[in-house]
Amino acid sequence: MSAEKPQYINFDEYIRQGDPAKRELAEAWRVAIGLQAVDGLKTSEFLQETARRNIEGEITIDEVKHLVNQYYITKTTHDEGDADMEEADRVSSNISKLLLSDSFIYSVAGFAAVHRAIFEGVFKHAGRFRDYDISKKEWVLRGDSVLYGRWQDLRMAIEYDLEQERQFDYSTLDKDQVVEHLAKFVSGLWQIHPFREGNTRTTAIFTIKYLRSQGFRVNNELFEQHSWYFRNALVRSNYRNLAKGINYEPLFLVRFFRNLLLGENNTLKNRYMIINPPEEWKMPASEYSEDKHRTSTGQAQDMFQTDNEEILKVVKTIGCNRMSIREIMDAIGLKGRDNFLTLYLNPAIAQGFVSMRYPDKPRHPRQSYLLTAKGTMLWKSLWKEDAKE
């Protein structure tokens, strides 16, 4: 089974052009179309052309969805594989719209809402948890299955994982540990597998939106080019068979996340992950060594840093607290609200160091601000520097 998907749109060309609107649309479509390879699906030439028109600004994303809907309603000839292609087209347009929205609800309902938004018009059970237990034969496990969550425990399991992550203290971690922790969080969420179908695509989009909410810039190209690797890495990180001497293996998923978040270029090959691979498919010992002695790029080092003095003041002031605008201003010693928002708070939010407690309700009466995971890492480094002085 190949993870590669023929590409008709030159996403890189749009991204290099420098037009922010086209770049944002191209990046959304890149993920949306690439993720279909998770289930071996391919989009139609019609969808590719319609997506191109959307990127060019000729039609809106809602018009794309309407055109895709009309295309399959009025289609008179039906070929083998049309049902899969229709799913890929509809889901791709749904994902693209979802990624272009800044809204994100970090909750069980929010997780279900992502599934509903992705598979609207595709599955009748979109957004609903399964009511039976499942198993899935995996190529990478040579036909064995991961042990997925019991259907009776699905909501409770998701609530537990989300709450554990919500309360997690990033201030004690370095950037390598941050990446490993995030990979473990996503792996655990995926293992619950709460939906009948579409769990990996849902987990991928929820992950992208969660990472954005925590200040991380996500390399969307990874989900376009390595979506099947992403799924297989999730499988290996959740599979254990003690009778066969096989334990959980997070290495492959951590490699994906290091490329995703730190801009590294670790080799991502599906054949490395298969259980008991033939000799020619095994990962070279030198690559295991690379994982033990990683050297991050300058981009990775800069991800948690800024030389903006106003942002630094906001981060140092908030620390591990939740503070209102007035509390932050008083602590810094500022009087002008507009000046504070323009020079201090808004840039800190835009660069991913600070987030709202209620991002979907900016005017919430109890609105407060807290550091993202990225902001917490910066605060930790500033605290260490102050301690040395």
Spell out the domain ranges in the chain: 1-101, 131-303, 305-388
DSSP 369: E
| pLDDT recorded at residue 389 | 57
Amino acid present at 228? W
| Separation CA 105–CA 119 (nearest Å) | 18
- Judge contact between 93 and 49, C-beta under 8 A: no
131-303 classified as CATH 1.10.3290 = yes
Using the structure block, give the residue that is written with the tokens 């944002």: 24
CB 95 within 8 A of CB 118: yes
For residue 13, the tally of other CB atoms under 10 A from its CB is 11
pLDDT score of 8: 65
pLDDT tens for the chain, residues 1 to 389: 444 444 467 887 887 877 889 989 999 999 999 999 998 899 999 999 999 999 999 999 999 999 999 999 998 776 766 899 999 999 999 999 999 998 899 999 999 999 999 999 999 999 999 999 999 999 999 999 999 999 999 999 999 999 999 988 887 788 889 999 999 999 999 999 999 999 999 999 999 999 999 888 887 788 888 999 999 999 999 999 989 889 999 999 999 999 998 888 999 999 999 998 888 888 887 675 555 445 444 444 456 678 899 999 999 999 888 899 999 999 999 999 999 999 999 999 988 899 888 887 888 889 999 988 888 878 877 876 665 55
Residues of 265-302 as b/e, b for ≥16 C-beta within 10 angstroms?
A: ebebebebbbbeeeeeeebeeeeeeeeeeeebeeebee
* Tally: H helices and E strands in the chain: 19, 2
Core vs surface per residue 231-263: b (16+ CB within 10 A) or e: bbbbbbbbbeeeeeeeeebbbbbbbbbbbbbbb
The alpha helices in 167-226, defined as continuous H runs, are 175-192, 199-213, 221-225
CATH number of 305-388: 1.10.10.10
Q: What angle do CA 358, 360, 364 make, to 5 degrees?
A: 50
Q: Which two tokens stand for residue 283?
A: 């990962």
- Rounded to the nearest 5 degrees, what angle is found at the Cα of 334, between the Cα atoms of 332 and 337? 125
Q: Hunting for tokens 């810039």 — which residue is that?
A: 217
Phi, psi of 323 (to 5 degrees): -135, 145
Could you give the CA distance from residue 95 to residue 32 in angstroms, rounded to a whole number?
A: 5
Report the distance separating Cα 382 and Cα 307, nearest Å.
12
Q: What pLDDT does 96 receive?
A: 96
Inter-axis angle of helices 199-213 and 227-237, nearest 10? 90
